[in-house]
């Protein structure tokens, strides 16, 4: 199993400039190769990522000499990993047609394992030297690569390590739990525990609106207009706020998924139609604030690392509408109804708790 440890970097001005150049080189190589692949695709030809890298190597020294100012991994791995995965996902119908990358949007570049070294709280990068890290690498195992990325004005390195054994083996199959995700509360467990959502977006809503209004009034907000220093200052404040909101969501999701996988060997959840929920303009902001997709992604890989299992019920499974005592199903149950009484056995149910118990029972039966 490959685990990644994401660590904040503390580069000086020279090192931060190098990182920005490397991100730009990776972005240019990705877009260059994507354009070549699109032309070949339209002509009915099949071009591999190896052939695209070979073509770029043949012309980069003459046409793009500035690429040599950064590590050779930046352009090569942008094609080998980034573009290759995008094309593969497109053919597997997991994603749409690959798009060109934009400056300032998810800036990053990758390094192969022989192109960097770790020593305590520092990482050595080609043509740059040692850069300070916030902490040392936590995992033991073979290092297979690293990716350096920027969020707002902070830089991070994600080191990928091949771990020989699961991180934990204390989870047991007979310890089962159902988890019902929602908007009012992030999660309701089958034992009655309710975890409220952080709702970072709602907490920062006023400040977010104010900064967006302020940015729209700055010189540079209009297309084609030169960006002023005040525009860039406000933009930096806005990026930091977005990063803070993302960190709050990520922190809660990591803590909750870690708690679940450490205490339960069998976890039942529902396959939510997040895209359909986002199409409802009244729910879209609240749904996005809860990070349902990220919750499931973390839960699945952490359960696998802890020798546990995650059982996913179909999105049409009547977790909320079915009485967990007698199994009677209610045909119509509006979202506004938070409690209901079973017409067969007379039991009174809390909507979310009943759903989580049904998901736990479904997981036990499926296992």
**Together in a domain, 188 and 325:** yes
Q: Specify if 292 maps to a domain.
A: yes
Q: What is the average pLDDT score of the chain?
A: 90
How is residue 80 annotated by DSSP? I
Pick from 184, 181, 186, 177: nearest CA to 320: 181
Which pLDDT value is given to residue 214? Answer: 93
How is residue 70 annotated by DSSP? S
Beta carbons within 8 Å of 214's beta carbon, 6+ residues apart: 234
What residues act catalytically?
180, 270, 352
Q: In what order do the strands lie in the sheet with 309-313?
A: 194-195, 187-189, 176-181, 266-270, 309-313
Beta carbons within 8 Å of 96's beta carbon, 6+ residues apart: 90
Give yes or no for residue 98 having a pLDDT over 70: yes
Length of the chain, please? Answer: 367
Q: Specify if 359 maps to a domain.
A: yes
**Together in a domain, 126 and 182:** no
Beta carbons within 8 Å of 26's beta carbon, 6+ residues apart: 74, 75, 77, 78, 82, 108, 109, 110
Give yes or no for residue 174 having a pLDDT over 90: no
Give yes or no for residue 120 having a pLDDT over 70: yes
End-to-end distance of the chain based on CA atoms, in angstroms?
23
**Together in a domain, 50 and 147:** yes
Phi and psi torsions of 169, nearest 5° = -135, 20
Residue with the larger pLDDT of the pair 166 and 289: 289
**Together in a domain, 26 and 119:** yes
For the chain, what is the domain count? Answer: 2
Section 275-287 average pLDDT: 82
Indicate the SS3 state at residue 364: helix
Section 241-269 average pLDDT: 92
**Together in a domain, 335 and 257:** yes
Contact between residue 274 and residue 292 where contact means Cβ atoms under 8 Å apart: yes
Q: Specify if 167 maps to a domain.
A: no
Detail the DSSP E strand segments found in the chain.
2-10, 108-112, 117-118, 122-125, 129-133, 142-151, 154-162, 176-181, 187-189, 194-195, 266-270, 309-313, 339-341, 348-350
**Together in a domain, 157 and 182:** no
**Together in a domain, 96 and 9:** yes
Give yes or no for residue 167 having a pLDDT over 80: no
Which pLDDT value is given to residue 171? Answer: 46
Give yes or no for residue 51 having a pLDDT over 90: yes
**Together in a domain, 147 and 274:** no
**Together in a domain, 85 and 188:** no
Which pLDDT value is given to residue 169? Answer: 44
Give yes or no for residue 79 having a pLDDT over 70: yes
- Helix (H) and strand (E) counts in the chain: 11, 14
**Together in a domain, 47 and 185:** no
Give yes or no for residue 170 having a pLDDT over 80: no
Q: Specify if 128 maps to a domain.
A: yes
Q: What whole-number distance in Å separates Cα of residue 323 and Cα of residue 314?
A: 17
Which pLDDT value is given to residue 56? Answer: 95
**Together in a domain, 57 and 98:** yes
Q: What whole-number distance in Å separates Cα of residue 117 and Cα of residue 126?
A: 9
Neighbours of 318 (CB within 10 A): 14
Phi and psi torsions of 334, nearest 5° = -65, 150
Q: Specify if 19 maps to a domain.
A: yes
**Together in a domain, 260 and 290:** yes
Section 79-108 average pLDDT: 92
Indicate the SS3 state at residue 105: coil
pTM: 0.81
Section 4-21 average pLDDT: 95
Section 209-214 average pLDDT: 94
Q: Specify if 289 maps to a domain.
A: yes
Tell me the residue range of the domain where 110 lies.
Answer: 2-162
Q: What whole-number distance in Å separates Cα of residue 340 and Cα of residue 257?
A: 29
How is residue 78 annotated by DSSP? I
Q: Specify if 239 maps to a domain.
A: no
């Amino acid at each position: 199993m490959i685990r990644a440890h994401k660590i904040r970097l503390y580069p000086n001005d020279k090192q931060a400039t190098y990182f920005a150049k490397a991100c730009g080189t990776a972005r240019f190589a990705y877009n260059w190769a994507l354009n070549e692949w699109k032309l070949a695709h339209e002509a009915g030809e099949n071009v591999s990522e190896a052939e695209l890298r070979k073509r770029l190597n043949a012309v980069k020294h003459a046409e793009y000499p500035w690429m040599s100012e950064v590590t050779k991994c930046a352009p090569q791995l942008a094609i080998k990993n980034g573009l290759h995965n995008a094309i593969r996902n497109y053919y597997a119908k997991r994603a749409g047609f690959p798009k060109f990358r934009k400056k300032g949007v998810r800036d990053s570049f990758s390094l192969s394992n022989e192109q960097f070294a770790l020593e305590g709280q520092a990482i050595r990068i080609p043509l740059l030297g040692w850069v300070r890290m916030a902490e040392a690498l936590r995992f033991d195992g073979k290092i297979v690569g690293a990716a350096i990325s920027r969020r707002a004005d902070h830089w991070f390195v994600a080191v990928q390590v091949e771990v020989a054994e699961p991180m934990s083996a204390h989870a047991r199959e007979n310890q089962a739990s159902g988890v019902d995700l929602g908007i009012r509360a992030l999660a309701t467990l089958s034992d009655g525990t309710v975890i409220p959502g952080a709702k970072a977006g709602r907490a920062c809503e006023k400040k977010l609106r104010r900064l967006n209004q302020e940015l729209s009034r700055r010189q540079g907000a209009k297309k084609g207009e030169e960006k002023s220093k005040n525009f860039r200052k406000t933009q930096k404040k806005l990026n930091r706020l977005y990063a803070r909101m993302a960190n709050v969501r990520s922190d809660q999701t990591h803590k909750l998924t870690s708690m679940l996988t450490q205490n339960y060997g069998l976890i039942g959840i529902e396959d939510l139609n997040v895209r359909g929920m986002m199409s409802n303009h009244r729910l879209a902001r609240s749904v996005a604030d809860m990070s349902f997709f990220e919750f499931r992604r973390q839960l699945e890989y952490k359960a696998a690392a802890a020798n546990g299992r995650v059982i996913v019920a179909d999105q049409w499974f009547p977790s909320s509408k079915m009485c967990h005592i007698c199994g009677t199903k209610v045909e119509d149950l509006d979202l506004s109804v938070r409690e209901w009484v079973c017409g067969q056995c007379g039991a009174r149910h809390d909507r979310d708790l009943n759903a989580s118990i049904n998901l736990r029972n479904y997981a036990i039966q499926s296992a």
